[in-house]
């Protein structure tokens, strides 16, 4: 069987990503490139996740400049190794801290449930500036 790579629309990419609960955030941290897994939800087209206020992730994504936000990449995929099929979606955009009550309300309602315990009271969203995806299937 031949493998076919299909480019996905933004709509299809977000639909597939919304069906997952674990993805990876990629960014340049103080010690170089970082990729970390996080539990997430898609809320109004944006990736939303929670973390601890004193985590290295929070420290690395704070610019210290009012209204300035780091651009990050977020990747989620689903791979079937046995038949070598699957899909991959990348969402790129600014990492925005949800600090205003009205912003947090939507994120809290999405019920992002981190697998790792602790006080995960810092909400971050990645507003999609670019969404791309592809699917590998068999012909």
Q: What confidence category does residue 37 fall into, taking pLDDT thresholds of 50, 70 and 90?
A: very high
Q: Range of 110's domain?
A: 3-131
Q: How far is CA 12 from CA 35, 133, 135, in A?
A: 24, 8, 10
Assigned domain for 138 exists: no
Assigned domain for 12 exists: yes
Is the distance from CB of 53 to CB of 121 less than 8 angstroms? yes
The structure's pTM equals 0.89
Is the distance from CB of 55 to CB of 70 less than 8 angstroms? no
Per-residue model confidence as pLDDT tens digits over 72-128: 999 999 999 999 999 999 999 999 999 888 888 888 888 888 777 778 889 999 999
**CATH for 47:** 2.30.110.10
Assigned domain for 136 exists: no
How many domains does the chain fold into? 1
Assigned domain for 97 exists: yes
Assigned domain for 76 exists: yes
How far, in Å, CA of 16 to CA of 133, rounded? 9
Assigned domain for 67 exists: yes
Assigned domain for 127 exists: yes
Assigned domain for 82 exists: yes
């Amino acid at each position: 069987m031949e493998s076919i790579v299909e480019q996905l629309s933004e709509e299809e990419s977000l639909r597939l990503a919304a069906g997952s609960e674990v993805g990876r955030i990629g960014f340049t941290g103080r010690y170089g490139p970082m990729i970390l897994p996080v539990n997430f939800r898609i809320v109004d087209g944006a990736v939303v996740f929670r973390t601890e206020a004193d985590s290295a992730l929070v420290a690395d994504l704070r610019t210290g400049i009012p209204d300035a936000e780091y651009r990050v990449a977020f990747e989620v995929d689903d791979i079937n190794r046995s038949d070598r099929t699957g899909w991959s979606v990348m969402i790129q955009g600014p990492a925005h801290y949800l600090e205003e009550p009205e912003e947090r309300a939507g994120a809290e309602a999405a019920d992002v449930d981190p697998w790792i315990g602790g006080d995960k009271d810092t909400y971050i969203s990645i507003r999609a500036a670019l969404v791309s995806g592809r699917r590998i299937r068999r012909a």
